[in-house]
Amino acid sequence: MKTQLKNLWLDNRKFFLAACLLFAGGAILGFVQAHVVEELAKALFEQLKDVMAKLERNGGGLFAMFWAIFFNNVKVALLMMAMGVFFAFVPVFNIMANGVFIGFMFAKISESGVNPVLMFTAGILPHGIFELPAILFAAAVGIRLGVLSLRTVGSLIQPAKWERVKNDWFEMLRQFPAAVLTVVVLLFVAAFVESGITPLVLHGILGDELQQVKLFQ
């Protein structure tokens, strides 16, 4: 199992780096051009409101919050992984959009007079150390699938490359279940922390300052 996870990481690390760069680029864009990306941020915020609405319909409570967060994150991650086969458009767009939203959020937090470093430390870091690597890795797998799809199209023009592409597809599909399991486990832990620990840390550190934050006018 240890060897399998090591190979999984080695085969996906350059795509993970690509996902990190896309996320960072989106975050920088969202921070420095908050007024430009506000409509996109609003659309993403509406998705979060839908999650909260489902939570209320389930009666609220810690377990309902955990399940809503976990289900939503797994759905997003698996979508990026599976839909990456269509030339990586979905994982590339999703990971950049998430970066844009994070950057936008921190720009608005700064404008509100709340310390963004404290917000990050209290509101994102506790669960983010599990959730962010999982989402980035899911995007990496999707990007890898997209690159394989592009290489498959290229092999139609250069048939000599087909054998290598075929072997890479076999290895990718062989590793896919382990990749899914890794992402799901990380998101399970992240949802547990986000629903049960992050709110306590956030309110304990920032308290009433949270009411100052207004993302949208």
Instruction: Give pLDDT tens digits for 177-197.
Output: 999 999 999 999 999 999 888
Q: At what angle do helices 62-83 and 162-196 cross, to 10 degrees?
A: 170
Give the predicted TM-score (pTM) of the model.
Answer: 0.90
Residue with tokens 């470093």: 117
Containing 162, the helix (H) or strand (E) segment is helix 162-196
CA pair distance 23, 37, nearest whole angstrom: 15
More confident residue, 81 or 108: 81
Contact between residue 98 and residue 26 where contact means Cβ atoms under 8 Å apart? yes
Tokens of 116: 């963004």
Instruction: Give pLDDT tens digits for 37-77.
Output: 878 777 777 777 776 776 666 666 778 888 888 998 999 99
